[in-house]
A and B are shown apart, each in its own frame.
Chain A
Amino acid sequence: MSITVRNLTKVYGAQKAINDLSFEVKTGEILGFLGPNGAGKSTTMKIITCYIPPTAGTVEIDGLNIFDHSLEVRRKIGYLPEMNPLYLDMNVLDYLEYSARLHGVGRELIGPRIKEMVGVCGLGTVRHKDIGELSKGFRQRVGLAQALLHEPEVLILDEPTSGLDPNQIVEIRNLIKQLGRAKTFVLSTHILSEVQATCDRVLIINEGTIVADGTPSQLQQDFRGAETITLELRTGATNPLEEVAPKLSALPSVAGVELSSNADSVSRFVLSVEKGSDIREDVFRLAVAEGWVLLEMTRSSTSLEEVFHKLTMS
């Protein structure tokens, strides 16, 4: 089940929620949809699920257009909307049965499917309770169970882990990964570690347009700025800024040297290094040659957080 989004534009009044968005999701892919609040993530998902129409452009699911084949498209999709709306007056089992019926799950299949989803989503202890009595975490699981119930081939999950505690987040992630092999997932989030942990591909959107597209590690590489190396040296030098720093900056591809602290003949330097180069060996050799004691050396590169920050703050 592939999803093809072509030149999607949605205008609300005078405001463009999304602007000429195009991307594709292949079968078995878990796509993480990343962006600040109001970037157009939910709008895109609402269009894919046929809740609202786009102003321009189109979405195809397995070649089926959302306009001409709305019912077929919706039949293939499991959807967890933003805020996870539920009928609070229904109990969990009744609600799941209702959802299954509306998805046309066969009469004889409803029972086993519900039983399976109650197991998978860990709803066993609350299955006879009214949804209104459940905690946010359990409600989220009910929302997920509802989305997965009819074995959809495409899953559109708008912030599936919002409101969950760290343990539950891990559980849901594992569930998504486990199911992800056979299904096509699009999930939105603004938790970056989530994307790194679950998604095969990340799409960062900002103000309605795609600003980055790639695997999490690819993005980290592409947007890696000046890398930094933090060094702690025991040099014995009385004035490290004059005796040590010039030697460090003489190393290839070092852009800058900064002395961050100096006490008891131990000096801390922060070297900014040009993008994509690794000079740790050179540093080590230099230290050996000069007779410095290397106490610490840490290399840090741009995190996905910084990539995100860079791309969405302008």
Chain B
Amino acid sequence: MKTLPYVYPIFRRELQSYFNSPVAYVVIVFFLAVVGWFFSSSLFLMNIASLATVFEVIPWIFIGFIPAITMRLLAEEKKAGTIELLVTKPIRDVEIILGKFFAAWALLGATLLPTLIYLVAVSSIGEIDPGPVFAGYLGLFLMGGVYVSIGLFASSLTENQIVAFIVTLIAVLALFLIDKMLIFLPDTLSTTLEFLSVDYHFSSIARGVVDSRDILYFFSVIGFSLLLATVSLERRKW
């Protein structure tokens, strides 16, 4: 990070502020409780040593969880006026965006980490194929990155956190549901739209096949959203 030296201080402060407030703890505990409930009920009901339910449920929880952790990123600074201090420091706008993005993404990673307990639990009662599990987690993390970047962009548009939350929720939900609506559309259109869907790429990775096209998709969406967020932050200069 020689060329963008201020990403790290912003990342650090942002991550700290998550843990300075009770919000992070509350949402993490809520997240783990919900995942745990789905996991345990399916484990005992179906009697299968698999993490499949975890990978099925988490994408849905992300839709509500991620807007909640990204909504404050820029909206709060705008509301409090601290954005003025931040952008008049000798740092680039893109450094602010990247620092905040990585902080929220890291928080997401930190939230996913405890779910590895389920992995331990399952592997103690049955054989587990490590490939799909690893790929599934990678997929979740990348999918989360996409959502975080969209949430950051939404947060850059407004000083109202609730608005940021709702905009992110709708955008993320749309991105997730695109490929489930495709039966109503002609084939030519559906293949294009299918490629835009997060869930399409996530499912493909979660099957255990890490395809470069899927990885490329996730990083392009992240890059594009962050670019939009940077432009939106620079909008004050227009």
Contacts and interface: CB of A to CB of B under 8 A. Distances in A.
A102 B89 contact: yes
B90 A81 contact: no
Interface residues of B, number: 25
Given A79-B85, A85-B80, A74 B90 contact: yes
Given A89-B21, A102-B91, A103-B89, A81 B9 contact: no
B82 A86 contact: yes
Interface string A95-111: 00011011110000000
A71 B88 contact: no
Interface string A69-100: 00110110101010101111110001000110
A87 B17 contact: yes
Contacts of A146: 85
A74 B87 CA distance: 9
B236 to A, nearest CB: 6
B84 interface: yes
A220 B47 CA distance: 91
Contact of A49 (B10, B16, B88, B91): B88
Contacts of A103: 89-90
A89 B20 contact: yes
Contact of B9 (A77, A89, A98): A98
Contact of B85 (A50, A53, A75, A81): A81
Nearest to A100: B9
B81 interface: yes
A86 B77 CA distance: 9
Interface in B79-116: 80-92
A53 B5 contact: no
A71 B91 CA distance: 7
Which of A81, A101, A103 counts the most chain B CB atoms within 10 A? A101
B84 A46 contact: yes
Contacts, number: 67
Given A103-B89, A103-B90, A53 B237 contact: yes
B207 interface: no
B88 A74 contact: yes
Contacts of B21: 89
A89 B14 CA distance: 11
Given A83-B81, A85-B82, A102 B9 contact: yes
Contact of B89 (A74, A83, A87, A94): A74
A86 B85 CA distance: 8
B87 A51 contact: yes
A205 to B, nearest CB: 21
B17 to A, nearest CB: 6
A295 interface: no
Given A51-B236, A53-B237, A101-B9, A85 B85 contact: yes
B13 interface: yes
A104 B95 CA distance: 13
Which of B82, B85, B236 counts the most chain A CB atoms within 10 A? B85
A77 B88 CA distance: 9
A191 interface: no
A52 interface: yes
Contact of B88 (A51, A53, A90, A98): A51
B6 interface: yes
Nearest to B81: A85
Which of B16, B21, B80, B90 counts the most chain A CB atoms within 10 A? B90
Contacts of A46: 84
Interface string A45-63: 0100111110000000000
A226 to B, nearest CB: 45
Contacts of B17: 87, 89-90
Q: Which 5 pairs from chain A and chain B are nearest by CB?
A: A85-B81, A75-B90, A101-B9, A74-B90, A102-B89
19 contacts: A49-B88, A51-B236, A52-B236, A53-B238, A71-B90, A71-B91, A74-B90, A77-B88, A81-B81, A81-B84, A85-B83, A86-B82, A88-B80, A89-B20, A98-B9, A101-B9, A102-B9, A102-B91, A103-B90
Interface of A: 46, 49-53, 71-72, 74-75, 77, 79, 81, 83, 85-90, 94, 98-99, 101-104, 146
Interface of B: 5-6, 9-10, 13, 16-17, 20-21, 80-92, 236-238
